Amino acid sequence: MNICKNCKTEVTLNYCPNCGNPIKLTRINSQYIVQEVGSVLNFDKGIFYTIRELILRPGKTIRQFIKEDRNRLVKPIVFIIISSLIYSIFQQLFNFEDGYVGYSFEKDSAIHSIFNWVSKNYGYSNILMGIFIALWIKIFFKKYGYNFYEILILLCFVMGIGMLLFAVFGVADSLIDLKIIDKGYLIGILYILWAIAQFFDKKKIWNYPKALVSYFLGMVTFMIGIYAIGAIIDAMS
């Protein structure tokens, strides 16, 4: 009798009947390396698979992640943090204009510092924005029955792709002498809205304006929220 290392069920077989974990892992050898590299290059799993599927069919891919299979996509919170990091690294490397969260406040105000933090930490601030947008989506798409956390997962995935699109256009903007970064932001946002709408139901035409309104209200309430915190700190000091 063996004990499953994953879920502690007693197991008499080679695989755990409860969670499917193999009882004995084989040692890592060349075959393992070939398989791992192969699965990345074949796009059947991992970061490239995640990006490709999210661009081609975001709604279906994320519904599958929520309801059926969580092994093939990169974990959503990791995904948004990595995508935001890629955006920030490329933004500094290629020195394109960072227009994602634009702001201009007095240099030594708390509001300035907060907005500065937001633009230096897009990974975390995207998750915070996601929380605000998710609340509005929950209201506007109530009848679909998804809970707040499932909607937050949806946003981590689609906003992550948004960041990658911003990065691609930013790099292109600085390489070729053409002002396309603004169009990049537009395309990124349009992707996000399209993906949200088709996650719920791509045939319902009203889902598209509802996605737009939820996203917009989410961004506005996020901005008002951090602005209010900054204003309170400034008023007290």
Residues near Zn ion (CB under 5 A)? 4, 6-7, 9, 16, 18-19, 21
**Torsional class of 46: left (φ above 0), alpha (ψ -120 to 50), beta (otherwise):** left
CA–CA dist 136, 215 (Å, integer)? 8
- Do 184 and 165 meet the contact criterion of CB atoms below 8 Å apart? yes
Taking CA atoms, 169 is separated from 3, 163, 174, 178, 211, in Å, by 51, 10, 9, 10, 23
CA–CA dist 87, 98 (Å, integer)? 10
Quick one: 7 or 205, whose CB is closer to Zn ion?
A: 7
Quick one: 18 or 95, whose CB is closer to Zn ion?
A: 18
Quick one: 10 or 97, whose CB is closer to Zn ion?
A: 10
**Least distance between Zn ion and beta carbon 70 (Å):** 16
**Least distance between Zn ion and beta carbon 172 (Å):** 48
Quick one: 14 or 29, whose CB is closer to Zn ion?
A: 14
**Least distance between Zn ion and beta carbon 12 (Å):** 13
CA–CA dist 3, 21 (Å, integer)? 11
Quick one: 7 or 93, whose CB is closer to Zn ion?
A: 7
CA–CA dist 137, 218 (Å, integer)? 9
**Least distance between Zn ion and beta carbon 69 (Å):** 18
**Least distance between Zn ion and beta carbon 3 (Å):** 9
Kindly report the length of the chain. Answer: 237
**Least distance between Zn ion and beta carbon 14 (Å):** 12
The first and second tokens of residue 119, run together, are 């633009």
Quick one: 2 or 18, whose CB is closer to Zn ion?
A: 18
CA–CA dist 74, 72 (Å, integer)? 7
